[in-house]
Amino acid sequence: MWASYEIFAPIQKLEKNNQLPEALAALQVLRESKPPEDIKALTNLYSGLLNLRLEKFADAKVALTQSLQGPLRLDDFAHYHLGLVLAKLGDTGGAKRELEIVKSSAGKAFLYEARFQTGSVGN
């Protein structure tokens, strides 16, 4: 069952069809099946991103934070989106901290966007 990341294909189809609550439910079923750590980390990341789109910021915060505990190199991506979520929750200090992590990380995938978002977070 865990041979590849193709297990996310049905969830991606739901997302593409803008069936975000259904996609979240499918991710929950996947999470409850006790997948390997890499799948679990991706499931948490995906849940966080969908919750962000649904403006369920508290749920997004939990899922994105959990994705950082996995074995995959998701740090830049997760810290960036966690910063956006914290800003939406009114935690400007936490948002700036997360975006600063991205700005100072070795992988610079989100460097410029993090700089921009840090500037837009309230003082």
User: At which residue do the structure tokens 């948002």 appear?
Assistant: 95
Neighbouring CB atoms inside 10 A of 48's CB total 27
- In DSSP notation, 63-116 reads HHHHHTTSSS--HHHHHHHHHHHHHHTT-HHHHHHHHHHHHHSS--TTHHHHHH
Residue 123 has what pLDDT? 52
Query: Do 33 and 67 form a contact (C-beta atoms < 8 A)?
Result: no
Query: Do 15 and 50 form a contact (C-beta atoms < 8 A)?
Result: yes
Q: What is the rounded CA–CA span in Å between residue 87 and residue 55?
A: 12
Residue 110 has what pLDDT? 57
Q: What is the pLDDT of residues 2-33, one digit of tens each?
A: 456 788 999 999 999 999 999 999 999 998 99
Q: What is the pLDDT of residues 82-109, one digit of tens each?
A: 999 999 999 999 999 998 888 777 555 5
At 12, which amino acid appears?
Q
pLDDT of 69 above 50: yes
- Average pLDDT over the chain reads 84
Q: What is the mean pLDDT of residues 59-63?
A: 95
For the entire predicted model, the pTM comes to 0.72
Q: Residue 69: which of 112, 37, 32, 25 has the closest Cα?
A: 37
**Structural domains of the chain, with CATH:** 17-120 (1.25.40.10)
Report which of residues 34 and 114 the model is more confident about.
Answer: 34
Q: Provide the pLDDT confidence category of residue 1 given band limits of 50, 70 and 90.
A: very low
